[in-house]
Structure 1
Amino acid sequence: MLFGPRTLGFYIGKRFLLAIFAVFILCSVLIFLIDFVELLRQSGKYGEVSVVTLAFIALLRLPAYAEFLIAFAVLVGSIAALLQLSRKSELTVMRAGGMSVWQFLRPGIIVGFMVGLLTAMVFNPLAAAGRTAAESVYAEAFGKETNLLRSKSGASWLRQNGTDGQSVINAAIATNRGLTLHGVSVFIFDNDGRFVERVDGKRADLHEGYWEVTEAWVVRIGREPEKFDTYLVSTYLTPDRVADALGTMFSVSFWELPALIEVAEKAKLSASRLRIQYETLVSRPLLCAAMVLLAATVSLRSFRGGGIQTMVITGLVGGFGFFLLSEVSRQVGVAGLTSPWAAIWLPVVLVMMVSATVLLHQEDG
């Protein structure tokens, strides 16, 4: 049987799933409150925005932020589930019935693997869509105070060329993976490099061969400023190149990444960030299964033997150490010092091997 004895396997799997879900919900609530308080602070400093709008923005951004805590939730939830089984002597009864540690961990490992699989294939696309929508709502809510926003988060700068000459674009906020800019200033030069005009607009959308600037003020040397509902600025940039320059990985779903990687490589652009993100999502099922093994190394001791608190703290410290190692390895991969595959998979394989070795030593000596 996949779970071992059917009834017992489903019982253990349910305990793991409920504990993981409880930890994830608790962490998500804390993230929502922190983000909501930060949005309230920004609203009071940069412009009055309704509480409902701020809560909506925080809710849309929540899945993208909470996604980073999936592995942590699996680790802590697995520790909690195993400790609860141990506290009620259920693990002792299972061992007395002839079950090995690998048999009663199998349901937890499968649950962890499935949680990782679903978060990569289903939850991540939802989080990406929510993040994209949140960026648009945020830009609409705070876009009127672009000068203040620039000093807070830094503006995006983009140099480009077009049929009318070169131009430099400054945007307070880039959304929709860089295809929509808010709080835009465009400095346009002719083909000889001489300044021609400056265009300031509320928003700029990239189309094939041009940026469409809405509510644009155009200033030229020796002439009065002119107001246009829409103003076009030529460009040779394609949506793929702009997304590579200004886009965020949080707004790209798992299913979009392979095509974006292929386009970036055909355009001779760096695809390291995209590949790192893709490998991170692909490795997530195995990572969650590894977290169950890591949790088991510190959660199987009997309560009567004492030292449970020390073992749990050791497991949490080990988990944080692993997450730190993974982040360092990821940054090494982004910098191009190693392949994306090695940067993401080696820490996962390492923690699985170490956890399995510790469990074998604890069980078989």
Structure 2
Amino acid sequence: MKLSLRAGDTSKPIRLGRIERYVLVQQMRALGVALAVISALVMLIDFVEISRGLGSETDLSALRIVGLMLIKSPQVIVQLLPFVFLFGTLSAFVSLNRRSELIAMRAAGISAWRFVLPAAGMALVLGVLTVTCIGPLAAAGDNLFQRERARISGSVLGAEEDKQAIWLREGEDTRQMVIRAGRQDRANARLLDVTFFIYTTDPQGRRAFSERIDAPAASLSAGRWRLINAVGAQTGQRAVRYATLDLPSSLADDEAFERFARPQATSFWSLPAQISRIEDAGFSSTAYRLRLQQLLATPLMFAAMSILAAAFSLRLMRLGDLAKMTVGAVVLGFAFFFLNQASSAFGSAEVVPPFVAAWLPAMLTALAAFTLLFYTEDG
């Protein structure tokens, strides 16, 4: 198999030759080793954390702790995958350089772009696979771990969760309701210590407060809120007591008790619907929009890390600077990782738009990698 690079030959697709396939095989092997090392460290840390946390509260067997570790660790490993591509690609190309294989390739007139770009393309494909398939499975495992941890810990965590206040918003164009519940009774499907703030909207879009209704308990069923022993007061009028009061609702029966999942624990496929639900409920969806953009930028980040690692390892061994270049690649990789964390913090705080906060680190990493590769290859 040879590359079809003749001028004007556009009928045949560009295929990978033996050299490209050989470099890709070396890269995949190194990525597997890097993934195994990082996964082992993450799982060891999670095993110790679960043992000292849940293991100290309840009597858990080692097998049960391992099971909890296996559903918790993938989410952390997925977040550390950029380092897998950085260290794995760096290791592969350094090994090729130490065995003088890169020297032989370049002495034969083969451009570095010929074996670096296929490696970056493979990283891009693996990034898409991670976002669309592996990431959702890891998010599902993290949600399962959170539920198992709450169940194992007993009623203590459950009672604390039930005591947390719940805020909801629903309504239509002319009428809106903001609902606050001090507690929830999941066993009986009720909200306790409930306050309904009702607003009306005029044709000009101006919203005005209309009525406040307080009740010890409210249950949601068949498209209506049923309030018990409610007290309602409209603007400028005396309070009115109701033994029972029904209010129309557009929520599903289980949505009053459902909490929004954390952005990191929400899969790529669920994020658009989650963003719509959060905005319909009247809350800020910035963190979820940021998470969605970060997932979309993940393949570019993987490819950029691969190009960055390859560019740093192309220097000839006889020049004596390979060790310094390798250390520089690791330092620069960590610098971009911390830039990503800082950018996420700015995006969550709405200092910068989520799109900019998510794509800026990946773009800067890619630009730095291409700049270094141009300088190394073309001078």
Matched with 2:372 is: 358
1:188 aligns with 2:193: yes
- The alpha-carbon distance between structure 1 residues 189 and 269, as it changes in their structure 2 partners (threshold 3 A), is closer
Q: Which residue of 279, 295, 304 maps to 2:309?
A: 295
Which stretches of structure 1, 4 residues or longer, exceed 4 Å deviation after superposition?
Answer: 2-5, 159-163, 184-187, 189-197, 205-211, 234-243
Letter in 2 for 1:353: L
Task: Give the TM-score normalised by the residue count of structure 2.
Answer: 0.74
1:160, 1:168 within 8 Å by CA — same for their partners in 2? no
Matched with 2:327 is: 313
- Unaligned stretches of 5+ residues in structure 1: 172-180, 198-204, 212-233
1:276, 1:334 within 8 Å by CA — same for their partners in 2? yes
2:168, 2:282 within 8 Å by CA — same for their partners in 1? no
Q: Which residue of 270, 274, 296 maps to 1:260?
A: 274
Q: CA deviation at 1:116?
A: 0.8
Letter in 2 for 1:350: L
Q: Quick one: distance in 2 between partners of 1:139 and 1:51?
A: 19
Matched with 1:97 is: 108
Letter in 1 for 2:81: I
Matched with 1:215 is: none
1:49, 1:141 within 8 Å by CA — same for their partners in 2? no
1:112, 1:289 within 8 Å by CA — same for their partners in 2? yes
**Residues 317-348 of structure 1 deviation map (CA, whole Å, 9 limit, x = unaligned):** 11111011111111211222222111111221
Matched with 1:158 is: 166
- Alpha carbon RMSD of aligned pairs, Å? 3.6
Q: Which has the higher helix share?
A: 1
Q: How does 1:1-365 map to 2 (within 5 A)?
A: 1=3, 5-146=16-157, 156-159=164-167, 167-169=181-183, 188=193, 196=216, 246-365=260-379
Q: CA deviation at 1:27?
A: 0.7
- The alpha-carbon distance between structure 1 residues 92 and 4, as it changes in their structure 2 partners (threshold 3 A), is farther
- The alpha-carbon distance between structure 1 residues 240 and 80, as it changes in their structure 2 partners (threshold 3 A), is farther
- The alpha-carbon distance between structure 1 residues 96 and 48, as it changes in their structure 2 partners (threshold 3 A), is same
1:24, 1:69 within 8 Å by CA — same for their partners in 2? no
Q: Quick one: distance in 2 between partners of 1:19 and 1:70?
A: 13
- The alpha-carbon distance between structure 1 residues 170 and 259, as it changes in their structure 2 partners (threshold 3 A), is closer
Letter in 1 for 2:166: L
Q: Share of identical aligned residues, percent?
A: 29
- Secondary structure of the residue aligned to 1:167 is strand
Task: Give the TM-score normalised by the residue count of structure 1.
Answer: 0.76
- The alpha-carbon distance between structure 1 residues 161 and 15, as it changes in their structure 2 partners (threshold 3 A), is closer
Q: CA deviation at 1:71?
A: 0.8
- Secondary structure of the residue aligned to 2:80 is helix
Q: CA deviation at 1:61?
A: 1.0
- The alpha-carbon distance between structure 1 residues 189 and 339, as it changes in their structure 2 partners (threshold 3 A), is closer
**Residues 60-111 of structure 1 deviation map (CA, whole Å, 9 limit, x = unaligned):** 1111111101111001101000001101111011101111111121221111
Q: Quick one: distance in 2 between partners of 1:185 and 1:306?
A: 71
Letter in 2 for 1:9: E
- Secondary structure of the residue aligned to 2:312 is coil
- The alpha-carbon distance between structure 1 residues 330 and 208, as it changes in their structure 2 partners (threshold 3 A), is farther
- Unaligned stretches of 5+ residues in structure 2: 4-12, 171-176, 197-211, 226-246
Q: Quick one: distance in 1 between partners of 2:334 and 2:224?
A: 47
- The alpha-carbon distance between structure 1 residues 185 and 18, as it changes in their structure 2 partners (threshold 3 A), is farther
